[in-house]
Amino acid sequence: MEDVFSPDLPGIEKEIVSIRRHVHQYPELTYREESTSRYIAGKLKAIGIRPVTGVGGFGIVGIIGDEHAGPCIGLRADMDALPVEEMADVEFKSRNNGVMHACGHDTHVAMLLGAAMLLKKHEKELKGSVKLLFQPAEEDGGRGGALPMIEDGAMEKPHVDYVFGLHISADYPSGTFALRPGPAMAAPDGFRIRVLGKGGHGSQPQNTVDPVFVSAQIILALQGIRSRLIDPTEPFVLSVCSVNSGTKDNIIPDEAVILGTIRTFDKEVRRKAKKLTSDISRSVATAFGAKCEVNFTENAYPVTANDPDCTDKVKRILSGIKDTKTIDSELIMGGEDFSRFLEKAPGVFYFLGTMNKKKGCVYPNHSSKFRVDEDVLKYGALSLAKVAYSYANG
């Protein structure tokens, strides 16, 4: 399989990088990926692939091969950016203030389009078909973009038999593929705790119900879930990431809002953690005379679980790519919308390392200084093409 695509790879490497840089310069937030979607559709047409647009929002689907013959293999790339002001010193810096491709979704678009170029050149050799899934709204964390695409029929006509996704990662050295069988990424449940008190003058706290003080007690109490109420051998994270309240140094406000996230791999642990978060928050608030409202992200992503047999096969395929290394990945507490596709078809979500100290690619995903070693993008495109080709041809 290496020989099938390797001769074509040098001819498209510059195009892959060019696509990545264009998308990087014009990032768009979740549910607003209109121009990105339009750009992808144009690129697909140039390759000779008819794009089906407006799938689950700004999602796009394209087919390579005979959709009426053999298995159908899904390949997915997400396209949305993050609300981050870019601080990386690159010549193709984001032109949209306060928005940045800080997670690498620009590279995912470029690598999938690169894979599409490779597969299109060998379309007649395919015994099945390859369905390209360009997904919006991965960063939402709730309904996201995969679910709307699935509801719009993205995994049907033809039915997707296997599905694969690739994510760039600053946690692994450049050119390193990382994957694991079974649960790979956590289920992320965001929570919002609204503490309702009674405001007043900062000099007279006895006449108020201070929501800031109550929030502080809630935050401390929630840490007891991890340390005392959940089996310490279970992978579990509860983080409070935002506290908002008040307007002035001498005014006790009427309310405070706490935002945070729970990350789990086990359904029962997930259920228990959410219940404990709600019960503890309300109990602490009541103890100090306040009221409390607790809400969780609706339709939060499930656990991302790789099919074991598919993982073994993909691992063998990746191991055959020259100048790369394939390793077992660790459990990742981050969540991923690709989990929705894996609920509909067996497959694998794997990673490609981009950490390169010599090139300054040392900052983590979601950092304002996140940078990508563009030399690895060709490996990502090649890996997607090889996996799809192998599965489409049985």
Active-site residues, by number, are: 301, 374
Q: Give residue 294's identity as a one-letter amino acid code.
A: V
CA 391/CA 218 separation, integer angstroms: 51
Encoded tokens for 271 = 């259920």
Closest to 354 measured CA to CA, from 119, 102, 180: 102
Q: Give residue 123's identity as a one-letter amino acid code.
A: E
Burial class of residue 11, CB neighbours in 10 A (0-12, 13-18, 19+): exposed
- Whether 260 and 238 have beta carbons less than 8 Å apart is answered as yes
CA 97/CA 64 separation, integer angstroms: 37
